[in-house]
A and B are shown apart, each in its own frame.
Chain A
Amino acid sequence: MTAMEQPEFSLSEVIDLDPFALDRNAKSALYVRALADLTDHHGAHSPEYRRILDVLGHRRANVRTPADIPFIPVRLFKEYDLLSVDRSEVVKTMTSSGTSGQRVSKIFLDRATAANQTKVLTKIVSAFIGKKRLPMLVIDSRAVLKDRNLFSARGAGILGFSMFGHDVTYALDENMQLDLPAIQAFIDKHRGTPALLFGFTFMIWQHFHTALKAAGVRLDLDGGVMIHGGGWKKLVDQAVDSHAFRKAIHDVSGIDRVFNYYGMVEQTGSIFMECERGHLHASIFSDVIVRDHRDFSVLPTGQSGLVQLLSLLPSSYPGHSILSEDVGTVLGEDDCGCGRPGKYFALHGRVQSAEVRGCSDAYAAG
């Protein structure tokens, strides 16, 4: 290393910054170096990732902007065990929650990556709801946590967000039915203190909002705050968008601070939170690039395309730059009305699956 070169990137350089401290230029300078370092790191430690870099012809010397960092498709984590540490150093294996029969992503965490995920998640969420721990109502069933060995995305999400609460109470019973006595006891106990509600978007809609409406119950959670994530896929069919969701939640519970977040198990921790203006925001720990599917060129602000996700966190698996299967649009950078610097964006759902052609599935698809 020459005197001019900077030391290898470490998350500790930025972990104490405000999660929205960097503007476009500062962030870009950080990301070129940090992501190139992470690419080198994973290339040196994951043989599969190395092969991809070699075939793509990746050379660090050609990296001039963060967009020059190679990306791998998110589906690869379903098909291969990709890790950049020795298996003996893996302390947690996270999996995506797939329906039975579907392949799930496997994400291997060592102690450092797991700890960084927790720290970063705390910093980002605190920037929206404050540092004070609130009494917490989880809109899910305790049953989700039963298998502690294999962390499903749902279980990991609940545990991750439980850091922000105390007296964590589950609103649903083992059969995913509303546990009204438990909820009422929770409300009575914490009257006067704002509560934190957490859950997955669809679960909240189906098992909380719809169930309350059916039962004709309006809860007194006025002043509370709700965080929800996991995707809109199932709600798009019911034509429920973020705005309708917020209103519906307010109607059954009095809650008027509702934050959606976007994140995936492949980049746990560095989530994107929806601001008061209804825009998803990239913190200093992650970023989005929207690409044209025809050539993967970077699309300008306002144009919709494939979403690439960047994160500074993954060091035990090569997940720092991935091509998602989501379609989205960057709405702007450093100029959101909420005042937070960084890119803000909107998602439009998954890429539509196409019909399969070919002559080899008379029986399977017949």
Chain B
Amino acid sequence: MPMLPVDPSLHYLVAPPGGEIVVRPRVPYADVACDFLHELSALLLAAPEARAFPDIVSFAYWCRKANIARLKETHGDGEVRLGLGLAFHIAPSNVPVNFAFSFAFGLLSGNANVVRVPSRSFAQTEIVCAALRELCARPAFAAIGAATAFVRYAQNDAITGAFSAMCNGRIIWGGDQAIQNIRKLPIPERGIEVAFADRYSFCAIDARALVDASDAQLAQLARGFYNDVYLMDQAACSSPHLVVWLGEGPVLDAARTRFWTAVHRETADRFALQPVNAVDKYTLLCRSAIDNGNVTTLTRHDNYLYRLSLDSLPTDMDTFRGQYGLIYEFDTDHLANVAHIVSTKYQTLTYFGLDRATCIDFVVGNGLSGVDRIVPIGAALDIGVIWDGYDIVRSLSRIIDFK
């Protein structure tokens, strides 16, 4: 069994006994893995210090028994599968609990896991790792404890290379540049890599449906849109930058006013806009005016929400991203008129008032090379085992074919 590298620059937050990681693949959604996550959920939800972090709470909810059971149900399709062996996770440096989700996916797929946590110190990292240490020490979970390591280190190709050389699957959460750099460090011939690159996401709203929505629906929608855009400063891959309005005439005008008024109220109540954010956002606005000739006018809702109207959609639309609530808007009568901008860069389409057939037909009927998540407004940041078009649990396991 492989020994984990030891180096003064390496700090293990969770480590197997003796520094030796036991690689013994399990079937996906094995009972012990599901139980482990359930206990982790209970531990986190019981800890006052964990409850102070909404991102830990949503992770804990995701881990609870009923949710994992549901995932297990939809997963089973009669195939015999087994984890690949050792999964090496490289978490993003600035989304605090992403490392925990990545670990959960690795565990559910039946793998031993080495997780590189963000080198920047987050309270969330410490809280989740403390809970993991406690669980790994329980006799019932000794097998998982022997197959789990969480490590922190400053960027270091030699160390990343060593972990890469010993893994069977590598999961990279990072930007395009990060992925290209890490790819220079080889994984074994049979190794599999799942890389989550920079993506672009947008939103589509049916104007008629928006006008017809009840006040309660509208409030929920505004809250959802706020979460999609502002919780991660509009920097998450799944946060929308463009809102496509489907409709025309007075209905469209009414829908637009109603929606943005509600969103603005939400931002003013909840978003702690920092002075530096305001300067950055205004700079981005000016940059956009200069660089994007399709922008016609700005509508400002204080400095909380900037809306830039587009008279047409340039094919390089994915290079125009918002920040801290800067949204591009485009009006059309049919979603198909947006198809020409969709490249492999496109990830999530958040929607309101559109049905499944319309959305699926937009992607499948137009043979698009992008858009692999279509979720209601408010669910943009809901991470799951299916992400970026992959079922991560399936990607990190192999089929045992018997005929």
Contacts and interface: CB of A to CB of B under 8 A. Distances in A.
A79 B284 CA distance: 11
A73 B172 contact: no
B193 to A, nearest CB: 14
Contacts of A366: 90, 93, 116, 118-119, 154-155, 174, 178
A347 B304 CA distance: 25
Interface size class of A (residues with CB under 8 A): 35 or more
Interface string B166-206: 00000011111111011000000000000010100000000
A73 B303 CA distance: 14
A364 B290 contact: no
Interface string B215-230: 0000000000000000
Contacts of A351: 274-276, 279
A352 B178 contact: no
B92 A360 contact: yes
Contacts of B174: 359-363, 366
B94 A365 contact: yes
A54 B289 contact: yes
A1 B308 CA distance: 35
B195 to A, nearest CB: 10
Interface stretch (B231-239, B367-375, B393-401): B231-239
B278 A306 contact: yes
Contacts of A57: 297-298
A355 B274 CA distance: 11
Contacts of A357: 94-95, 232-233, 235-236
Contacts of B196: 359
B279 A73 contact: yes
A80 B94 CA distance: 29
Main SS class of interface, B: mixed
Interface stretch (A147-155, A277-285, A288-296): A288-296
Contact of B120 (A75, A325, A358, A365): A365
B302 interface: yes
Main SS class of interface, A: loop
Contacts of A236: none
B138 interface: no
Nearest to A358: B235
A55 B294 CA distance: 10
Contacts of B282: 73, 296, 323
Contacts of B277: 293, 354
Contacts, number: 148
B275 A356 contact: no
A75 B177 CA distance: 25
A51 interface: yes
Contact of A362 (B92, B295, B298): B92
Interface-centre pick from B173, B177, B276, B288 (highest chain A CB count, 10 A): B276
A4 interface: no
A72 interface: yes
A48 to B, nearest CB: 5
A363 B181 contact: yes
B235 A360 contact: yes
Interface in A314-366: 323, 325, 327, 351-366
Contacts of B172: 362
B33 interface: no
30 contacts: A51-B293, A52-B289, A56-B289, A56-B298, A73-B283, A293-B279, A294-B303, A294-B304, A296-B303, A306-B278, A325-B276, A352-B274, A355-B94, A355-B120, A356-B94, A358-B95, A358-B232, A359-B95, A359-B174, A359-B175, A359-B235, A360-B176, A361-B94, A362-B91, A362-B174, A363-B182, A364-B93, A365-B120, A366-B93, A366-B155
Q: 3 shortest A-B CB distances, which residue pairs?
A: A358-B235, A362-B174, A363-B178
Interface of A: 48, 51-52, 54-57, 72-73, 75-76, 79-80, 293-296, 305-306, 323, 325, 327, 351-366
Given A55-B295, A360-B235, A362-B92, 16 more contacts: A48-B290, A52-B286, A52-B289, A75-B279, A79-B287, A293-B275, A295-B303, A323-B282, A327-B275, A355-B120, A358-B237, A361-B92, A362-B173, A366-B93, A366-B116, A366-B174
